[in-house]
Structure 1
Amino acid sequence: MLKRFGIALLCCLFLLFTAACSSGSSTSIKLAEVTRSVFYAPQYVAIEEDFFEEEGINIELQTTWGGDKTMTALLSDGADVALVGSETSIYVAAQGSKDKAINFAQLTQTDGTFLVAKEPKPDFKWEDIKNSTFLGQRVGGMPQMVGEYVLKQNSIDPQTDLNLIQNVDFANIPGAFSSGDAEYVQLFEPTASTFEKEGEGHIIASFGEESGSVPYTTFMTKESFINEDEETVKSFTKAIYKAQQWVQEHSAEEIADVIQPYFEDTSTEMLATSIERYKNQDSFASEPVLAKDGWNNLKTIMDEAGELPEDIPYEELVNTKIAEEVIGN
Structure 2
Amino acid sequence: MKKISFLLFFLFFGMLLSGCAEEESSKIQVAEVTRSIFYTPLYVALEKGFFEEEGLTIELQTTWGGDKTMTTLLSDGADVALVGSETSIYVYARGADDPVMNFAQLTQTDGTFLVAREEYPDFNWEDLKDSNFLGQRKGGMPQMVGEYVLKKHGIDPHQDLHLTQSIDFANIPNAFATGDYDFVQLFEPTASIFEQEGRGHIVASFGKESGKVPYTVFMTKQSFIQKNEEEIRNFTRALYKAQQWVQSHSAEEIARVIQPYFDDTELGIITTVVDRYKSQGSFAENPILDEAEWNNLKAIMEEAGELPDDVEHSKLVNTEIAEDIMNE
User: What's the TM-score once normalised by structure 2's chain length?
Assistant: 0.98
**What's the counterpart of residue 192 of structure 1?**
191
Taking the aligned partners of 2:137 and 2:73, their CA distance within structure 1 comes to 20
**What's the counterpart of residue 265 of structure 1?**
264
Taking the aligned partners of 1:59 and 1:191, their CA distance within structure 2 comes to 27
Return the offset for 1:9.
Answer: 4.6
The one-letter code matched in structure 2 to 1:202 is H
Return the offset for 1:24.
Answer: 2.8
Taking the aligned partners of 2:267 and 2:18, their CA distance within structure 1 comes to 35
**What's the counterpart of residue 114 of structure 1?**
113
Return the offset for 1:7.
Answer: 4.4
Q: Deviations over 1:179-228 (max 9, x none)?
A: 11111111111111111001111001000000001000000000110111
**What's the counterpart of residue 28 of structure 2?**
29
Matched, 1:76 2:71: no
The one-letter code matched in structure 2 to 1:198 is E
**What's the counterpart of residue 280 of structure 1?**
279
**Where do residues 82-161 of structure 1 align in structure 2 (5 Å cutoff)?**
82-161=81-160
Return the offset for 1:261.
Answer: 1.2
The one-letter code matched in structure 1 to 2:211 is G
The one-letter code matched in structure 2 to 1:218 is V
The percentage of counterpart residues that share the same residue type is 65
**What's the counterpart of residue 54 of structure 2?**
55
Return the offset for 1:8.
Answer: 5.5
**What's the counterpart of residue 308 of structure 2?**
309
Taking the aligned partners of 1:282 and 1:4, their CA distance within structure 2 comes to 61
Which range moved further: 19-28 or 266-275?
19-28
The one-letter code matched in structure 1 to 2:163 is L
Return the offset for 1:124.
Answer: 0.2
The one-letter code matched in structure 1 to 2:213 is V
Gaps of 5+ in 1: none
Question: What secondary structure does 1:134 align onto?
Answer: strand
The one-letter code matched in structure 1 to 2:46 is I
Question: What secondary structure does 1:114 align onto?
Answer: strand
Question: What secondary structure does 2:72 align onto?
Answer: helix
Question: What secondary structure does 1:295 align onto?
Answer: helix
Taking the aligned partners of 2:174 and 2:122, their CA distance within structure 1 comes to 26
Taking the aligned partners of 1:221 and 1:182, their CA distance within structure 2 comes to 39
Return the offset for 1:288.
Answer: 0.3
Q: Deviations over 1:53-106 (max 9, x none)?
A: 111211111111111111011111111100000000001001111111100000
**Where do residues 124-273 of structure 1 align in structure 2 (5 Å cutoff)?**
124-273=123-272
Taking the aligned partners of 1:61 and 1:21, their CA distance within structure 2 comes to 24
Taking the aligned partners of 1:146 and 1:317, their CA distance within structure 2 comes to 21
**What's the counterpart of residue 296 of structure 1?**
295
Gaps of 5+ in 2: none
The one-letter code matched in structure 2 to 1:199 is G
Return the offset for 1:17.
Answer: 1.4
User: What's the TM-score once normalised by structure 1's chain length?
Assistant: 0.97
Taking the aligned partners of 2:310 and 2:179, their CA distance within structure 1 comes to 38
Taking the aligned partners of 1:247 and 1:19, their CA distance within structure 2 comes to 32
**What's the counterpart of residue 20 of structure 1?**
19
**What's the counterpart of residue 320 of structure 1?**
319
Q: Deviations over 1:276-304 (max 9, x none)?
A: 00010010011101111000100010011
Return the offset for 1:121.
Answer: 0.7
Which range moved further: 85-94 or 8-17?
8-17
Taking the aligned partners of 1:95 and 1:24, their CA distance within structure 2 comes to 38
Which range moved further: 134-143 or 23-32?
23-32
How many matched pairs? 328
Question: What secondary structure does 2:202 align onto?
Answer: strand
Q: CA RMSD in A?
A: 1.2
The one-letter code matched in structure 1 to 2:13 is F
Taking the aligned partners of 1:163 and 1:30, their CA distance within structure 2 comes to 41
The one-letter code matched in structure 2 to 1:41 is T
Return the offset for 1:258.
Answer: 1.0
